[in-house]
């Protein structure tokens, strides 16, 4: 992907953001979720399990988990301690067990056991905040996400770090970062943009050792170490 003439790391964010996202969308084929799933319900459970864990570990666990628990009622039919043992390796297993059982109960009570497609409904599920809801909606219900006035950009630790390194935001709060990204990016990019940023954060723009020499957006990055710049991800929060 060629960077447009006249756009560089010191250009304003409104000029850099479209070039950055066009490049990342091209490199990462429009963005994909690296969690294994076949239904919106499986994606929701996998996303809950992915907190403070790796997608690789979650995929190892869900290979058997999804066979044992094919629908919400199955998670409620077993003893809580049995479910804790089944997801133990993902970490924070007690909190995740409570979250999963709460979500399953809500799905059965209010949505006929099906995962709702709208943001307004998704965030009513126990423990499902905007980050999880945006991931699930953008991947499982992309058409709805594109048209949903309440949908937005999923902000996880990678999106937070890269958004600050790229000076797309100076905020630290995920809600404020999401708003800044929504102002910068076209509506149709909100879902795939987040997925691409997450992939780039995992594969290249590491928290401690960013691989700037291997980075396709390095010429647009105001935090490039090989350009002698300071890492903006650690800057004090300023105005958005």
Catalytic residue ranges: 131, 156
Q: What torsion, rounded to 10 degrees, do the Cα atoms 144, 146, 150, 154 define?
A: 100
Give the separation between CA 178 and CA 165, rounded to whole angstroms: 15
From the CB of residue 200, how many other CB atoms can be counted at a distance below 10 Å? 22
38 CA to centre of own chain: 18
Give the separation between CA 96 and CA 124, rounded to whole angstroms: 17
Give the separation between CA 7 and CA 82, rounded to whole angstroms: 55
- CA distances, 110 to each of 78, 122, 193 (Å): 21, 11, 31
By the 8 A CB rule, do 127 and 103 touch?
yes
Q: What is the CA radius of gyration of the chain?
A: 19
By the 8 A CB rule, do 140 and 113 touch?
no
């Amino acid at each position: 992907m060629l960077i447009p003439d006249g756009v560089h790391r010191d250009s304003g964010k409104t000029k850099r953001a479209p070039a950055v996202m066009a490049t990342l969308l091209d490199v990462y084929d429009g963005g994909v979720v690296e969690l294994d799933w076949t239904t919106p319900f499986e994606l929701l459970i996998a996303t809950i399990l992915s907190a403070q864990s790796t997608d690789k570990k979650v995929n190892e666990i869900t290979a058997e988990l999804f066979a044992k628990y094919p629908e919400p009622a199955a998670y409620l039919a077993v003893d809580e301690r049995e479910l804790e043992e089944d997801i133990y390796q993902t970490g924070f297993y007690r909190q995740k067990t409570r979250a999963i059982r709460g979500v399953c109960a809500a799905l059965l009570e209010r949505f006929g056991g099906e995962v709702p497609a709208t943001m307004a409904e998704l965030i009513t599920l126990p423990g499902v905040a905007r980050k999880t809801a945006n991931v699930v909606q953008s991947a499982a219900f992309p058409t709805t996400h594109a048209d949903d006035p309440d949908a937005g950009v999923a902000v996880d630790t990678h999106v937070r770090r890269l958004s600050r390194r790229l000076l797309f935001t100076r905020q630290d709060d995920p809600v404020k970062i999401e708003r800044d990204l929504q102002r910068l990016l076209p509506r149709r990019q909100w879902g795939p943009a987040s997925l691409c940023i997450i992939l780039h954060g995992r594969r290249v723009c590491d928290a401690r050792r960013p691989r700037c020499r291997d980075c396709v957006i390095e010429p647009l990055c105001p935090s490039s170490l090989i350009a002698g710049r300071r890492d903006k991800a650690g800057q004090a929060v300023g105005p958005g």
